[in-house]
Amino acid sequence: MSKVIRIGTRDSELALWQATTVKEQLEALGHETTLVPVKSTGDLVLDKPLYELGITGIFTKTLDVAMLKGEIDIAVHSMKDVPTALPKGIVQAAVLERGNHFDILAFKNNEEFLAQKDAVIATGSLRRKAQWLNRYPTHTVVDLRGNVNSRLEKLNTNDWNGAIFAAAGLQRIGLQPEHTIGLTWMVPAPAQGAIMVVAKEEDEFVREACAELNHGATAICVQLEREFLRILEGGCTAPIGAHAFIDKNDQVTLKGVLLSYDGKRKLEAEYSAPLGLHKNLGRDCANSILARGGKLLVNQTHGGTLKTHIFSTKNLSQNQLQLFKQGVTVKSEDFIKISPNRLPKTLLTQELENVIITSKNGVESLATQAPDTLKFKNIYCVGRKTKRLIEKRIGPVKHQAIDAKELAKYLVEYMEGLEVTYFCSNLSMDDLPNILEENNITVHKVETYTTKHAPSEVDKEIEGILFFSPSGVESYLLKNRPDKTAYCIGETTAEEARKHFRNVKVAKIPVVESVIELVNGDY
């Protein structure tokens, strides 16, 4: 029995172009059709990034409801917007032949900003943002929402260098910005450039009609990409890219990528297999990434679905993140920014009898500016890692203490002479110099590097904060409340934390790994 097939679609220009394409192809096969435009939540809420809306399938949910209520027979979607798990009762009816799968950069005047330290790029996609920052870490990425036309208009009216778009979207509605660059290095979203048709599982007539539109090669490739996405548990809340293709020799290749929000961490995998033996490529790529730290990375980016227990005020390495107990989810961010100060050459070349260095940042600043001219007779330091770095970059250490107070007590007792040069930060604590000066030792403070607070707001649900310096505690308190457990790397940091936090714990050894042991002991 023939019937008019009601085609549900979003009402943006691009969505209507895609739905009209499906309509024309179905009518060419002899079917009667009509378009039913509706507006989705993703089109209505434009003042927040997609990942903050916390809705799976934000551009498809309204159409899913309309279909299950019997108001439409099929829905047409940009396939990259469709969740990997379709609602019960709705099935994939067809995938049209894929268009251009690349992302492109539209820019205003010239490309010079690509070689410059500072530039502003606009995109509403976490995947695009993370990959851009991975390639251009000093650039700034701002949020950009709306349909294709409004996003292009915003590029022209804002002080941005460029904005990132899906090439297929621009091409389909005939928009050709004057200046563009194909981002062939950027891994696209799974199924980018493909159009998907869904129907009710029980509607055999409509499913059979749509099956004639299906493009086999595209269906194979996007299935692999979406399987990769499904296993990594991604969606709008994780920076995940995937692209599969079939070459002229019927070899199927899939490349997948997972990144941290800030683009600093990136995991890639690429696998190939002959057509017919390709079905496990999505699983193999995903498992390869998960085995190399991907699970932790997914947990960090899954703030909307997984509870985060711990926040570190210092960026942690993948190896350090692996040390947390299974089930403990962690976010990390540098709350302190360090920049070395230029020191006078006379200071860096003169002989100094007694020198104090209390941090690795001080070592790096000194060693970078004067790797061969430093003439320090007696070097005193705080911490084993600082000692190792000093002996690697500068010279032998006479004595190393566990914290600044312990070092001060030692110097009062055993140091030769009554003068010491203290290489420190602009925000260093006064305990050490105060103790020395109270005991008639003259302290020459040299601000070797500048420490700047760079805090952000921490989620209320987080239970514990990792601190690695008193400055980190100060920075945290600029935007957050002291209502969590403070895990501190050493007694000096803990002393500052106790002024504000009720529950303060101190690592047995002043190293990151020992702080992580503290956390694991509580979980």
What's the pTM value of the predicted model, to 2 decimals?
0.57
The number of distinct structural domains making up the chain is 5
Whether residues 27 and 147 share a domain: the answer is: no
Distance, CA of 68 to CA of 48 (rounded, Å): 28
Whether residues 80 and 207 share a domain: the answer is: yes
Whether residues 351 and 443 share a domain: the answer is: yes
Write out the catalytic residue numbers.
Answer: 81
Distance, CA of 123 to CA of 129 (rounded, Å): 7
With H, G, I as helix, E, B as strand and everything else as coil, classify residue 365.
helix
Whether residues 230 and 321 share a domain: the answer is: no
Whether residues 355 and 449 share a domain: the answer is: yes
> Cβ-count burial of 460 within 10 angstroms (0-12 exposed, 13-18 middle, 19+ buried)?
exposed
pLDDT tens per residue across all 523 residues of the chain: 468 999 999 888 889 999 999 999 999 999 999 999 886 544 433 344 433 333 344 557 788 888 888 999 999 999 998 888 888 899 999 999 999 999 999 998 888 999 999 999 999 898 999 999 999 999 999 988 777 888 888 998 999 999 999 999 999 988 888 899 999 999 999 999 999 999 999 999 999 999 999 999 999 999 999 999 998 875 546 799 999 999 999 999 999 999 988 899 999 999 999 999 999 999 999 999 988 888 777 766 654 444 668 999 999 887 788 788 766 888 899 998 888 898 888 888 889 999 999 988 899 889 888 767 788 999 999 988 899 999 999 999 999 998 888 999 999 999 999 999 999 988 777 889 999 999 999 999 999 998 889 999 998 889 999 999 899 999 999 999 999 999 999 888 999 999 999 999 999 888 899 999 999 888 7
With H, G, I as helix, E, B as strand and everything else as coil, classify residue 448.
strand
pLDDT of residue 38: 82
Distance, CA of 515 to CA of 504 (rounded, Å): 12
pLDDT of residue 374: 87
172 is in which domain, residue-wise? 103-183
CATH number of the domain where residue 163 is located: 3.40.190.10
Whether residues 179 and 245 share a domain: the answer is: no
- As given in the structure block, the two tokens for residue 174 are 């005939």
Whether residues 370 and 251 share a domain: the answer is: no
Whether residues 74 and 206 share a domain: the answer is: yes
Distance, CA of 234 to CA of 290 (rounded, Å): 12
Whether residues 326 and 350 share a domain: the answer is: no
Whether residues 84 and 198 share a domain: the answer is: yes
pLDDT of residue 57: 46
Whether residues 24 and 129 share a domain: the answer is: no
**Of the residues 410, 432, 453, which one is the last residue of a structural domain?**
453
CATH number of the domain where residue 495 is located: 3.40.50.10090
pLDDT of residue 319: 78
pLDDT of residue 52: 38
Whether residues 154 and 113 share a domain: the answer is: yes
- Nearest Cα neighbor of 63 from 96, 97, 18, 31 is 18
